[in-house]
């Protein structure tokens, strides 16, 4: 018997979507509400969703829900759909690949796509030293493997991470992630020998790069000791933590200390990498040349893929057979990634990311001049954010962020929150989002700010 839940006709394609904002029903609409009821009975409640609408299809920078409402997508599935939803070149690559080889297991019978992605990563990650890569399924798995490799290379076990970091939800990466609720609470015990140290958060700590680095290094030397430290893992722009851009000179000072002390510097570029900030990797903005780089999210146009790329002599520290995994570097995902590299180049998406900054940053600053609730405007390329505060005290204001996200959705814009205090609104659209749609979405953000009741503080 046919499953009654399956549609009888094939769904309309993403490419048929008119690229416009359109609200047809109450938000959430009736079909989303019906799915919520089914979901509540069948899906574990630990898997919560930020927004109450169910996605049906998408194209470019537009997502259509199951009720036919169309949203300008400023979240891009948390920075994954860098090349845009249902990009034709990615679609072509994965359909061709799926019809010829979907799985072989690279550690049994290898295939070219994996090798090609490793070559492309060597070419596009910072630095012109000899590099090698391994491929995985997710960002967390990339971080796990970077730590494995750094430990094997150094023969040391301690790992340092920065306050406000996000590195994943596996046991090791939970230990490396700063925020307890919702990521860690009740899920311990956590992997040992992980140490969180203060980083650089210019809006909150007021320190310049050298001063913030000196503070970090003081903690490293005093509470861990360089001789026991395998690696420091740092996001060049902190993502979940609130799109925090470290002060100028901070990352390079930290890396210099690592080099002097035989500590591996791992840049976690899962969120900031692959063209998001207007360079291939965000490390480039500060002249940082990490020993190892992790990537995932935007690397494969929505297909699961992650990678660790780095200095050949460090990557080769792991013995043959020491790295792997069943689905790692799946042929369909690698085909998608090869198409993504090509699209970033041929559509000049690095230029588009810089253009998005050029359009959005002044608009956000103009909003800040009208709304003292915006304590800080920051970001690079298409990784931009506003931090909301109670103006009198600069204390975080997560309630206003939640209200803005709700208002935006009602008005056809997908926005997502960030920040370890939940008081940051982040913009990380697809790089193919047009200027017109971006400005339209920013107008909705402006209206959302207008709709807030005046701050009593
Ligand atoms: N490192 C820097 O941003 C993923 C997670 C959202 P995975 N960030 C979004 C959520 O609620 O799960 C992320 C990241 C950085 C690592 C990761 C982990 O990547 O692909 O989610 O495992």
pLDDT tens-digit map of 399-412? 999 999 999 999 99
Question: Is residue 266 predicted with pLDDT exceeding 70?
Answer: yes
Q: Are residues 243 and 312 in the same domain?
A: yes
Q: Are residues 157 and 303 in the same domain?
A: yes
Domain housing 400: 30-83+348-451
The dihedral through the CA atoms of 135, 141, 147, 152 has a sign that is negative
Q: How far apart are CA 435 and CA 432, in angstroms?
A: 9
**Pocket lined around ligand 1, Cβ cut-off 6 Å:** 78, 138-140, 143, 166-169, 235, 239-240, 268, 270-271, 296
Mean pLDDT throughout 86-107? 98
CA-closest residue to ligand 1 atom 19: 139
What CATH number does the domain containing 419 carry? 3.90.1150.10
Q: Of 290, 319, 346, which marks where a domain is finished?
A: 346
Q: Where are the beta strands (DSSP E) in 261-396?
A: 264-268, 292-295, 306-311, 374-380, 383-390, 395-396
pLDDT score at 5 = 58
Query: Using N-to-C axis directions, what is the helix angle for 331-346 and 112-124, rounded to 10°?
Result: 40
Note the pLDDT tens digit of each residue in 416-433.
Answer: 999 999 999 999 999 999
Question: Is residue 7 predicted with pLDDT exceeding 60?
Answer: no
Cα–ligand 1 centroid distance for 265 (angstroms): 19
Cα–ligand 1 centroid distance for 168 (angstroms): 5
Question: Is residue 223 predicted with pLDDT exceeding 90?
Answer: yes
Q: Give the residue, out of 75, 234, 297, with the most ligand 1 atoms within 8 A of its beta carbon, to mutate for a pocket test.
A: 297
Ligand 1 atom with the shortest distance to the CA of 78: 9
Q: Give the residue, out of 47, 139, 281, with the most ligand 1 atoms within 8 A of its beta carbon, to mutate for a pocket test.
A: 139
Note the pLDDT tens digit of each residue in 172-198.
Answer: 999 999 999 999 999 999 999 999 999
Q: Are residues 227 and 355 in the same domain?
A: no
Q: Give the residue, out of 166, 184, 243, 300, with the most ligand 1 atoms within 8 A of its beta carbon, to mutate for a pocket test.
A: 166
Q: For residue 155, tell me if it sits in a domain.
A: yes
Q: Are residues 361 and 425 in the same domain?
A: yes
Residue 116's Cβ-count burial label (10 Å; 0-12, 13-18, 19+) is middle
Which H/E stretch holds residue 426? strand 424-427
Considering its fold, how many domains does the chain have in total?
A: 2
CB atoms closer than 10 angstroms to residue 98: 12
Q: For residue 2, tell me if it sits in a domain.
A: no
Mean pLDDT throughout 300-310? 98
Ligand 1 atom with the shortest distance to the CA of 304: 20
Is 21 strand, coil or helix?
A: coil
The partner residues of 374 in beta bridges, in order of sequence, read: 388
Token representation of residue 12: 């309309």
Start-to-end CA span in the chain (Å)? 62
Q: How far apart are CA 325 and CA 72, in angstroms?
A: 37
Taking a C-beta distance cutoff of 8 angstroms, is the pair 400, 386 a contact? Answer: no
Ligand 1 atom with the shortest distance to the CA of 168: 18
Note the pLDDT tens digit of each residue in 100-126.
Answer: 999 999 999 999 999 999 999 999 999
Note the pLDDT tens digit of each residue in 435-457.
Answer: 999 999 999 999 999 999 776 55
Is 279 strand, coil or helix?
A: coil
Mean pLDDT throughout 33-49? 98
Dihedral Cα 434, 440, 442, 443, nearest 10 deg: 160
Q: For residue 182, tell me if it sits in a domain.
A: yes
CA-closest residue to ligand 1 atom 5: 168
Ligand 1 atom with the shortest distance to the CA of 240: 3
Q: How confident is the model at residue 3 (pLDDT cuts 50, 70, 90)?
A: low
Q: Are residues 426 and 301 in the same domain?
A: no
Q: Are residues 190 and 177 in the same domain?
A: yes
pLDDT score at 13 = 87
Taking a C-beta distance cutoff of 8 angstroms, is the pair 286, 112 a contact? Answer: no
What CATH number does the domain containing 271 carry? 3.40.640.10
Task: Give pTM, 2 decimals.
Answer: 0.97
| Mean pLDDT taken over the chain | 96
Mean pLDDT throughout 244-260? 98
Q: For residue 10, tell me if it sits in a domain.
A: no
Per 3-state DSSP, the chain is made up of helix, strand and coil in percentages (nearest 5) of 40, 20, 45
Cα–ligand 1 centroid distance for 30 (angstroms): 31
pLDDT score at 454 = 73
Cα–ligand 1 centroid distance for 407 (angstroms): 26
Q: Are residues 169 and 241 in the same domain?
A: yes
All residues at 6 or more sequence positions from 285 whose CB lies less than 8 Å from its CB, including other chains: 236, 277, 279, 380
Token representation of residue 164: 């406000």
Q: Are residues 288 and 168 in the same domain?
A: yes
Q: Are residues 180 and 251 in the same domain?
A: yes
Ligand 1 atom with the shortest distance to the CA of 141: 22
Q: Of 292, 322, 346, which marks where a domain is finished?
A: 346
Q: Are residues 72 and 96 in the same domain?
A: no
CA-closest residue to ligand 1 atom 1: 167
Q: For residue 5, tell me if it sits in a domain.
A: no
Q: For residue 16, tell me if it sits in a domain.
A: no
The partner residues of 155 in beta bridges, in order of sequence, read: none
pLDDT score at 297 = 98
Q: How far apart are CA 287 and CA 376, in angstroms?
A: 24
Q: Of 322, 346, 370, which marks where a domain is finished?
A: 346
All residues at 6 or more sequence positions from 395 whose CB lies less than 8 Å from its CB, including other chains: 389, 457
Question: Is residue 11 predicted with pLDDT exceeding 90?
Answer: no
Q: For residue 23, tell me if it sits in a domain.
A: no
Q: For residue 330, tell me if it sits in a domain.
A: yes
Cα–ligand 1 centroid distance for 252 (angstroms): 24
Question: Is residue 4 predicted with pLDDT exceeding 80?
Answer: no
Query: Using N-to-C axis directions, what is the helix angle for 88-98 and 331-346, rounded to 10°?
Result: 160
Ligand 1 atom with the shortest distance to the CA of 269: 2
Question: Is residue 12 predicted with pLDDT exceeding 80?
Answer: no
Q: Are residues 192 and 293 in the same domain?
A: yes
Residue from 260, 365, 344 nearest 300 by CA = 344
Q: Are residues 178 and 308 in the same domain?
A: yes
pLDDT score at 299 = 98
pLDDT score at 1 = 44
């Amino acid at each position: 018997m046919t499953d009654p839940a399956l549609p009888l006709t094939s769904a309309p394609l993403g490419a048929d979507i008119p690229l416009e904002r359109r609200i047809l029903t109450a938000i959430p609409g009736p079909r989303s509400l019906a799915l919520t009821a089914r979901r509540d009975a069948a899906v574990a409640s630990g898997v919560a969703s930020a927004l109450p609408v169910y996605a049906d299809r998408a194209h470019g920078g537009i997502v259509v829900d199951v009720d036919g409402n169309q949203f300008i997508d400023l979240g891009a599935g948390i920075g994954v759909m860098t090349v845009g939803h249902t990009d034709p070149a990615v679609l072509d690559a994965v359909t061709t690949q799926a019809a010829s080889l979907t799985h072989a297991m690279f550690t049994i019978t290898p295939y070219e796509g994996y090798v090609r992605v490793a070559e492309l990563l060597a070419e596009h990650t910072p630095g012109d030293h000899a590099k090698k890569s391994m491929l995985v399924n997710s960002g967390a798995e990339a971080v796990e493997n970077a730590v494995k490799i750094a430990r094997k290379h150094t023969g040391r076990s301690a790992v340092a991470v920065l306050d406000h970091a996000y590195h994943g939800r596996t046991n090791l990466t939970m230990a490396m992630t700063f925020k307890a609720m919702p990521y860690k609470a009740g899920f311990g015990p956590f992997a040992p020998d992980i140490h969180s140290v203060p980083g650089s958060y210019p809006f909150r700590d007021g320190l310049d790069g050298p001063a913030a680095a000196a503070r970090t290094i003081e903690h490293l030397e005093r509470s861990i000791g360089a001789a026991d430290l395998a690696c420091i893992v740092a996001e060049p722009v902190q993502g979940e933590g609130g799109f925090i851009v470290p002060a100028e000179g901070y990352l390079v000072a930290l890396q210099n200390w690592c080099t002097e002390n035989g500590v591996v510097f791992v840049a976690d570029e899962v969120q900031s990498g692959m063209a998001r900030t207007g360079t291939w990797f965000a490390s480039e903005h500060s002249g940082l040349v990490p020993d190892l780089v992790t990537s995932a999210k935007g690397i494969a146009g929505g297909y699961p893929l992650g990678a660790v790329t780095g200095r050949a002599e460090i990557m080769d520290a792991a013995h043959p057979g020491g790295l792997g995994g069943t689905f790692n570097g799946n042929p369909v995902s690698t085909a998608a990634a090869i198409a993504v590299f090509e699209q970033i180049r041929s559509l000049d998406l690095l230029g588009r990311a810089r253009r998005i900054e050029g359009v959005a940053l002044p608009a956000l600053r103009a909003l800040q001049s009208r709304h003292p609730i915006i304590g800080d405007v920051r970001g690079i390329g298409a990784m931009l954010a506003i931090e909301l505060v109670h103006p009198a005290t600069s204390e975080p204001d997560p309630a206003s962020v939640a209200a803005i996200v709700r208002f935006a959705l009602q008005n056809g814009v997908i926005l997502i929150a960030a920040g370890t205090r939940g008081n940051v609104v982040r913009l990380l659209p697809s790089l193919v989002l047009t200027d017109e749609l971006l400005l339209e979405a920013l107008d909705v953000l402006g209206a959302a700010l207008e709709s807030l009741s005046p701050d009593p503080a």
